[in-house]
């Protein structure tokens, strides 16, 4: 270990870190409020285009062939525009959660001034005009852009930048789903996979502010308008194990559909700029003749809870939704997958329940609860975030009393997904991005400047239960602080690091590779 006074800036950086904590929480509130305003505009714009689309469908049916041709030409032009912007600015492709993780790894770099408005416009066009994509992914990334922009004003350390970006991401999900608690859990479980007191405070502030701003302007309450008033009986819980396994297979098929069409686009040598044209053209026949499978899936979920459908109709809904989502997301078009996967899970739950009802094994009054459980199970399988799945489903539906059933179904789905080797969708997407030719050339902008990192010590990490001096820290790095509970101290070489501790590491001349080495020492080993 290097003595503290050998690095004159260390004390200053640590003091500044302490002084910035309360300011950072305040800035997270500001980030959340700004994000809430952006997401409000985003939701209203999508609704406006969706209403126009529905009206145009009626006009096209009346006009016949000329109307169809004119609509196809317009959709093709929009698809070309989307293809152009995602090729020119690849960071705005798809949902955006994977890109946020890449920024935290210092492998990718945001450019909020240009990318935020393009993400906004592209998301409105893709989702509003009927592609099978959801608004939550773009909302999360839009919030992250806001947080990044706020951070750039203050020129903060990497840790503080991460906190503000995460606060913005949580605010984005909170504002788009009216689900502040789910947004907090999502930010910590899916984006970070760990918790620090400062990060938690910033995420809570951002999530609250985002929901507050959105609720003031658009109203509060669950976004899905069904409430399963009848609690699912404990005597029927055994059926939930089968449901979790069944929907896990659907969720795995959901992911495979996206990656299958990605490979198809490449195998057919379709240029990236032309790929979004295909789902935009297909959105017309799907919207005209299979309207429940059009768009993200909110309408499909609502329909399933309001009326029973025959088995063959449910199978048709599921097949079309899986294929259309694969074609849409596989093209790189701007939009998320949360709502489509929830819709597929809802159909899976309805299918499973309908079979049980037909054989007299389940009462009809419990079908809606099965739909709810199916949504959570599919989310668990695709995102590999069971806690978020439970919270987001009961918070967006208002069905808190179904929490026990949600937990059992999500547990079963999670174990099934792990057994069949089904990986988290965002992790696969991030790997694809980092391996692609579009990796940002603007990364590591902080190289050369001293950076402070706060890293949790995992239970089975290399550094756990070892003295600071016994851990092979990378060159140009030194441990300058250890947080144990509420106590923060300056360590020496004999300080033992325990699981759950947070180490404050000073990195000189930081790079993304250096951060990877630090994470490899402190985080849980990869399985």
Across 178-182, 315-319, 481-485, least confident range: 481-485
pLDDT of residue 12: 59
**Which is more confidently placed, 255 or 153?**
255
Given a contact cutoff of 8 angstroms between Cβ atoms, the answer to whether 350 and 302 are in contact is: no
Strand partners of residue 503: 455, 482
**CA dist., res. 337 & res. 442, Å (int):** 28
pLDDT of residue 338: 92
pLDDT category at 445 given cuts 50, 70, 90 is very low
pLDDT category at 475 given cuts 50, 70, 90 is confident
Q: What is the number of other CB atoms lying within 10 angstroms of the CB of residue 285?
A: 12
Given a contact cutoff of 8 angstroms between Cβ atoms, the answer to whether 210 and 171 are in contact is: yes
pLDDT of residue 270: 95
**CA dist., res. 157 & res. 209, Å (int):** 23
Reduce the DSSP state of residue 273 to 3 states and report it.
coil
How would you write 501-516 as a 3-class SS string? CEEEEEECCCCHHHHH
The phi and psi torsions of 479 (rounded to 5 degrees) equal: -85, 115
Please give the structure tokens belonging to residue 391.
């919270």
Query: Nearest CA to 290 among 337, 267, 323, 259?
Result: 323
**CA dist., res. 283 & res. 295, Å (int):** 8
Given a contact cutoff of 8 angstroms between Cβ atoms, the answer to whether 139 and 36 are in contact is: no
- In the predicted structure, residue 11 carries a pLDDT above the cut 60: no
Query: Nearest CA to 334 among 164, 177, 99?
Result: 99
- In the predicted structure, residue 1 carries a pLDDT above the cut 50: no
Q: Which domains does the chain have, with CATH numbers?
A: 4-218 (1.10.3080.10), 234-435 (1.10.3080.10), 451-522 (3.30.70.1450)
Q: In what order do the strands lie in the sheet with 451-456?
A: 451-456, 502-507, 477-484, 487-489
| ∠ CA 277-280-284, rounded to 5° | 140
**CA dist., res. 199 & res. 188, Å (int):** 9
**CA dist., res. 283 & res. 336, Å (int):** 16
| ∠ CA 38-183-409, rounded to 5° | 140
**CA dist., res. 127 & res. 279, Å (int):** 11
pLDDT category at 493 given cuts 50, 70, 90 is confident
**CA dist., res. 65 & res. 52, Å (int):** 19
pLDDT of residue 16: 61
Given a contact cutoff of 8 angstroms between Cβ atoms, the answer to whether 340 and 286 are in contact is: no
**CA dist., res. 484 & res. 473, Å (int):** 20
- In the predicted structure, residue 4 carries a pLDDT above the cut 60: no
Which pLDDT tens digit goes with each residue over 390-400? 999 888 887 77
pLDDT of residue 399: 74
Given a contact cutoff of 8 angstroms between Cβ atoms, the answer to whether 514 and 478 are in contact is: no
DSSP state for residue 358 in the 8-state scheme: H
- What would the mean pLDDT of 486-505 be, rounded to a whole number? 84
pLDDT of residue 18: 60
DSSP state for residue 495 in the 8-state scheme: P
- In the predicted structure, residue 441 carries a pLDDT above the cut 60: no
Burial status of residue 369 (CB atoms within 10 A of its CB: 0-12, 13-18, 19 or more):
buried
- In the predicted structure, residue 355 carries a pLDDT above the cut 80: yes
Q: What is the number of other CB atoms lying within 10 angstroms of the CB of residue 149?
A: 18
Which pLDDT tens digit goes with each residue over 234-273? 999 999 999 999 999 999 999 999 999 999 999 999 999 9
- What would the mean pLDDT of 431-452 be, rounded to a whole number? 61
Please give the structure tokens belonging to residue 445.
């902008």
pLDDT category at 230 given cuts 50, 70, 90 is confident
pLDDT of residue 446: 47
- In the predicted structure, residue 3 carries a pLDDT above the cut 80: no
- For the chain, the distance separating the N- and C-terminal CA atoms, rounded to the nearest angstrom, is 31
Which pLDDT tens digit goes with each residue over 107-138? 888 999 999 999 999 999 999 999 999 999 99
pLDDT of residue 386: 93
């Amino acid at each position: 270990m290097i003595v503290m006074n050998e690095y004159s800036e260390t004390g200053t950086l640590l003091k500044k870190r302490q002084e910035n904590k309360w300011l950072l929480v305040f800035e997270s509130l500001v980030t959340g409020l700004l994000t809430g305003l952006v997401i409000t505009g985003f939701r209203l714009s999508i609704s406006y285009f969706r209403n126009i689309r529905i009206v145009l469908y009626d006009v096209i049916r009346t006009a016949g062939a000329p109307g169809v041709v004119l609509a196809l030409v317009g959709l093709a032009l929009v698809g070309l525009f989307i293809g152009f912007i995602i090729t020119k600015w690849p960071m705005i492709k798809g949902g955006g959660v994977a890109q946020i993780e890449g920024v935290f790894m210092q492998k990718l770099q945001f450019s909020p001034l240009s990318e935020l408005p393009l993400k906004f416009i592209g998301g409105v066009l893709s989702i509003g005009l009927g592609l099978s994509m959801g608004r939550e992914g773009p909302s999360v990334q839009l919030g992250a852009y806001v947080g990044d922009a706020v951070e750039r004003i203050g020129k903060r350390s990497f840790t503080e930048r991460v906190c503000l970006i995460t606060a913005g991401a949580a605010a984005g999900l909170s504002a788009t789903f009216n689900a502040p608690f789910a947004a907090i859990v999502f930010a910590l479980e899916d984006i970070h996979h760990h918790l620090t007191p400062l990060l938690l405070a910033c995420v809570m502030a951002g999530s609250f502010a985002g929901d507050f701003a959105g609720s003031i302007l658009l109203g509060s309450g669950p976004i899905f308008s069904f409430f399963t008033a009848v609690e699912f009986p404990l005597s029927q819980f055994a059926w939930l194990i089968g449901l979790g396994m069944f929907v896990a297979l659907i969720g795995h098929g959901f992911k495979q559909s996206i990656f299958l069409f990605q490979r198809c686009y490449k195998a057919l040598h379709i240029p990236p700029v032309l790929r979004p044209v295909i789902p935009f053209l297909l959105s017309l026949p799907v919207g005209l003749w299979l309207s429940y499978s059009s768009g993200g899936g909110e309408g499909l979920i609502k329909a399933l809870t309001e009326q029973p459908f025959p088995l063959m109709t449910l199978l048709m809904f599921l097949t079309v939704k899986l294929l259309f989502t694969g074609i849409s997301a596989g093209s790189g078009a701007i939009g998320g997958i949360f709502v489509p996967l929830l819709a597929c899970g809802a159909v899976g739950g309805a299918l499973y329940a309908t079979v049980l009802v037909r054989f007299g094994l389940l009462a009809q009054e419990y079908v809606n609860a099965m739909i709810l459980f199916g949504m959570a199970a599919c989310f668990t399988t695709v995102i590999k975030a069971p806690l978020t799945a439970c919270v987001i489903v009961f918070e967006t539906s208002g069905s808190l009393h179904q929490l026990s059933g949600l937990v059992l179904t999500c547990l079963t789905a999670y174990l099934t997904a792990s057994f069949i080797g089904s990986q988290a969708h965002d992790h696969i997407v991030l790997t694809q991005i980092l391996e692609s030719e579009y990796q940002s050339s603007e990364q590591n902008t902080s190289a050369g400047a001293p950076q402070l990192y706060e890293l949790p010590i995992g239970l089975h990490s290399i550094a756990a239960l070892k003295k600071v001096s016994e851990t092979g820290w990378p060159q140009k790095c030194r441990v300058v602080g250890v947080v144990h509970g509420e106590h923060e101290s300056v360590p020496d070489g004999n300080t033992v690091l325990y699981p759950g501790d947070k180490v404050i590491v000073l990195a000189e001349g930081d790079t993304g590779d250096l951060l990877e080495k630090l994470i490899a020492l402190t985080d849980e080993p990869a399985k």
